[in-house]
Amino acid sequence: MRQLTYVGGTRIEWWDVPEPKLQKDGDAIVAPLAVTRCDLDLTIAGGKSGLPGPFALGHETAGRVVDVGAAVRNFVPGDLVIVPFQISCGECASCRRGHTNACTSVPFRSSYGLKPVCGVEYGGALSDLIRVPFADHMLVRQPKGHALSQTAGLADGATDGFSAVANWLKQRPGEEVLVIGGFGQSLSMFAVQAAVSRGARRVVYLDDDPARLAKAKSLGAEVHEAPKGLAMDPIGRFPIVIDAAATDASILLAFRSAEPNGICQRMYGDFNETTPVPLRHMYGVGITFRVSRVNVRADMPECLKHVECGHFHPERVITRRVRFEDAHEAIGDPTIRVAFVRDGVD
């Protein structure tokens, strides 16, 4: 079968590799039909991730079940599904706690399309087929009347960006949200959408990039253009601050933009070993700081609910749609978000 492979540097190629087979009774085989590009994929494609190739690329997908093991009860071939990018069993203590990003049945950080972070090649979404372990738990049914290219992003970025903000707004309903956008460029947009749709009184988006500012504005944010590199003073004090720019400058700006007892969440990681954290300031102001990877499988149903009822539109963040076959070329496009879609698929 064909597999889009990150070789190294900026080299990305379609490789012929053996098809994945059912390995256990609980496995399923899924054909990815729509894939969206995660912000991390763009970094990988640009040769800036530090992740050594070769490995299979792509980890946000919705597709069709083509085969299931004898123990799979909830799905049959032909079913349309969303495939969370993190592998989780649904049964270990960590999964039962909702920490599906740290399932203890598989190596830590087990994921599609990211072999170097977990040490296991699970395959990538930009392939003809992928194997899904723990299929009854892992797979999420595609809602009727929605496009696969709309839901594919829920496999990672859309759920990540949405749940980060939605979870804080549950604790602090109606509060103002500041999103500092940049490096996690589609995550920033999902965070904006979440804040708007979950009832934030005011949603402010700060960035130094005109295209991203325009997109955030179209999604309902009040936008502020920042000087290059975010070398600036805070534009105000906010109870909830999301740093999706993911630089040292942006996190320091986020801390300074938090009001007393405010919340800062850092979306995504940059690739510095260490980042200065001003604990004295944070103590004085009383900042709660969260930096974490998403628990995709646990958080997806809530997120999907808001897609189904029309409050959350991951497809509006997509700025370029291409044929699946053209993924090798389009994966490095700096545009905000790319969708790779099989012919004849929505």
Positions touching Zn ion (CB under 5 A) are 38, 40, 88-89, 92, 95, 103, 105, 156
The residue (of 117 and 252) whose beta carbon lies closer to Zn ion is: 117
Question: Cα–Cα distance between 323 and 314 in angstroms, integer?
Answer: 19
- Separation of CA 101 from chain center: 13
Q: Least distance in Å: CB of 338 to Zn ion?
A: 13
The residue (of 69 and 124) whose beta carbon lies closer to Zn ion is: 124
The residue (of 89 and 169) whose beta carbon lies closer to Zn ion is: 89
Structure tokens at 179: 């999103």
Q: Least distance in Å: CB of 202 to Zn ion?
A: 29
In the 3-class helix/strand/coil scheme, how is the chain assigned residue by residue? CEEEEEEECCEEEEEECCCCCCCCCCCEEEEEEEEECCHHHHHHHCCCCCCCCCEECCCCEEEEEEEECCCCCCCCCCCEEEECCECCCCCCHHHHCCCHHHCCCCCCCCECCCHHHHCCCCCCCCECCEEECCHHHHCEECCCCCCHHHHHHHHCHHHHHHHHHHHHHHHCCCCCEEEECCCCHHHHHHHHHHHHHCCCCCEEEEECCHHHHHHHHHCCCEEEECCHHHCCCCCCCEEEEEECCCCHHHHHHHHHCEEEEEEEEECCCCCCCCCCCCHHHHHHHCCEEEECCCCHHHHHHHHHHHHHCCCCCHHHHCCEEEEHHHHHHHCCCCCCCEEEECCCCC
Q: Least distance in Å: CB of 203 to Zn ion?
A: 23
The residue (of 38 and 300) whose beta carbon lies closer to Zn ion is: 38
Q: Least distance in Å: CB of 251 to Zn ion?
A: 20
Q: Least distance in Å: CB of 59 to Zn ion?
A: 5
Close Cβ partners of 97 (under 8 Å, ≥ 6 residues apart): none
Q: Least distance in Å: CB of 285 to Zn ion?
A: 31
Q: Least distance in Å: CB of 158 to Zn ion?
A: 10
The residue (of 106 and 230) whose beta carbon lies closer to Zn ion is: 106
First to last CA, the chain: 23
The residue (of 155 and 254) whose beta carbon lies closer to Zn ion is: 155
Q: Least distance in Å: CB of 180 to Zn ion?
A: 19
Q: Least distance in Å: CB of 299 to Zn ion?
A: 14
Partners of 141 in the β-ladder: 81
